[in-house]
Amino acid sequence: MVAEPTIALDLPLKVLAHEATDGKVWVSYNDPNYLKQRFSLSDELVKNIAIIAPLINEALSSVDHK
Rounded average pLDDT over 21-36: 94
pTM of the model: 0.75
pLDDT exceeds 80 at position 29:
yes
Q: Which domain holds residue 35?
A: 5-61
Q: How many Å apart are CA 36 and CA 42, to the nearest integer?
A: 7
**Does 31 score more than 90 pLDDT?**
yes
Residue 66 lies in a domain: no
Give CA torsion, residues 22, 63, 58, 31, to 10 deg.
20
CA distance 21 to 13: 26
- Tell me: pLDDT of 18 over 80: yes
Higher-scoring residue by pLDDT: 3, 23: 23
Residue at 65: amino acid letter = H
Provide the domain count of the chain: 1
Specify the pLDDT at position 4: 85
Q: What is the mean pLDDT of the chain?
A: 90
